[in-house]
Structure 1
Amino acid sequence: MLTLYHSPNSRSTSVVQLIEEMGIADKIRVETVTIPRQDGSGGADPNNPHPEKKVPYLVDGDDFVRERAAIILYLTDRFPESGLGRSVGDPQRGAYLSWLVWYQGVLEPVAILSWAQLSHPAITASLRDYDTAIQRLDEVLSRQPYLLGQEYSAADLLASGPFSWFGDQMPSTDAIKAWVARCVDRPAVKAVAAREGR
């Protein structure tokens, strides 16, 4: 059985939401662990096999997957019947992969750098800046309700997360706010939020 190492109200919450959304909770054991928190609470859990004691961390027999985009891709490929991913050969496979990696490699880093008020021309040249990332999202979401078009996908779950989590601390546009509202209005997201006390 697959095992997900998870700490409530952390980055791994999005993977728990995905598991709920996909209807595969009976196929994955969720092991709750502690992690060091920015407020000084928590701590490294010796029961967490992640080499840096972070979450999420997915174990599948002798194999493992870390980083949210990779875990989301792994699960949506492993359980394609959920319809939340795009399988190899699907005409939206490239777009799906691009949004997952764009979130992990562009949006999250530039959002953190913007929040920390760190800037350097090398960062902007390679990663872009927060305003450019928001502009890209707005261009897409002004034309369609979700990143891949008319249907919600795991890419929406991943990319909308920080906007719902941090609210107005993540400046956005009306189109992005409407998209986030649609994403957090899903029963799976609400169920996990209720369980985790958010």
Structure 2
Amino acid sequence: MSIRLYYHPYSRAAGTIWALEEAGVPYELKVIDIMKGDQKSAELISKNPMGKLPTLVDGDVVVTEASAIALYLADRYAPGRLAPALDDPKRGTYLRWALFAPSVIEPAVMAKGGDWTVKEIAAGWGNYASMIAATESAIIGKRFVLGDDFSMVDVVLGGTLRFMLGFNQIEARPEFVAYVERLDERPAYQRAEAKNMAMRKELGLK
């Protein structure tokens, strides 16, 4: 087993479990006690200078940032199944919405929630209303982002929407709710959620 995920169930690494389960590769978890600040340990800093989770080590390869890890796993272990081929026209749509989640959805939601004052023309995320409309356009009238075919972009985009809907950080538009409900039916997601719940219990977390 070469893949190790530095992980805590109350971190973004919880979503990486889903990506790993979809990829169908064996992995081990290295639990990092973020409550004690162990993510800033010398061991983790040597691999991820940000001292954050998730951090994935695959042999000699180190990958950080949840969306990058998900895309890496799809390309490395499930090309053509979870990631469109390099010459597939769907590749552009796949990358577009996978990167949209962390670079536009997240900061737009934070800006709205924190009442940030920013110049829209200077902010890469534009404004909240435009973000909502754009996000809806990615899935409206489709089962998944790429149509009928599930791919790793659904783990990234869908996982972001699930989290934000769960904490009432984004409006529960019918398209968003229905999309997340479809994703919740996936066996890989259910396995991941069971593992996260079991780890919470093992660590004595609610």
Same fold (TM over 0.5): yes
Aligned amino acid, residue 158 of structure 2: S
% identity of equivalent residues: 30
Q: 2:100 aligns with which of 75, 97, 102?
A: 102
Return the alpha-carbon distance in structure 2 between the equivalents of residues 43 and 123 of structure 1: 37
Return the alpha-carbon distance in structure 1 between the equivalents of residues 78 and 91 of structure 2: 12
Look up the SS of the partner of 1:59 in the other structure: strand
Aligned amino acid, residue 124 of structure 2: S
**Map of 2:183 onto structure 1:** 183
Pairwise mapping of residues 109-128 of structure 1 onto structure 2 (< 5 A)?
109-122=107-120, 125-128=123-126
Question: Alpha-carbon deviation of 1:140?
Answer: 3.1
Q: CA RMSD in A?
A: 2.1
**Map of 2:16 onto structure 1:** 15
Look up the SS of the partner of 1:170 in the other structure: coil
Structure 1 pair 139–82 and aligned structure 2 pair: CA distance change class (3 A): closer
Is 1:69–1:104's contact at 8 Å kept on the other side of the alignment? yes
TM-score (norm 1): 0.85
Is 2:79–2:85's contact at 8 Å kept on the other side of the alignment? no
Q: Relative to structure 2, which stretch is displaced further, 106-115 or 160-169? A: 160-169
Is 2:23–2:73's contact at 8 Å kept on the other side of the alignment? no
Return the alpha-carbon distance in structure 2 between the equivalents of residues 125 and 31 of structure 1: 36
Question: Alpha-carbon deviation of 1:107?
Answer: 1.1
Unaligned runs of 5+ in 2: 201-206
**Map of 1:38 onto structure 2:** none
Is 1:157 the counterpart of 2:135? The answer is no
**Map of 1:33 onto structure 2:** 32
Post-superposition Cα deviations, 1:154-194, rounded to whole Å, max 9, x if no partner, equal 11111122332232332141111110111122222222222
Is 1:86–1:92's contact at 8 Å kept on the other side of the alignment? yes
Return the alpha-carbon distance in structure 2 between the equivalents of residues 160 and 5 of structure 1: 22
Aligned amino acid, residue 169 of structure 1: Q
Return the alpha-carbon distance in structure 2 between the equivalents of residues 182 and 86 of structure 1: 21
Return the alpha-carbon distance in structure 2 between the equivalents of residues 129 and 42 of structure 1: 36
**Map of 1:85 onto structure 2:** 83
Look up the SS of the partner of 1:3 in the other structure: strand
Question: Alpha-carbon deviation of 1:124?
Answer: 6.5
Q: Relative to structure 2, which stretch is displaced further, 185-194 or 80-89? A: 80-89
Is 1:44 the counterpart of 2:65? The answer is no
Return the alpha-carbon distance in structure 2 between the equivalents of residues 88 and 69 of structure 1: 18
Is 2:120–2:126's contact at 8 Å kept on the other side of the alignment? no
Q: Relative to structure 2, which stretch is displaced further, 120-129 or 90-99? A: 120-129
TM-score (norm 2): 0.82
**Map of 2:171 onto structure 1:** 171
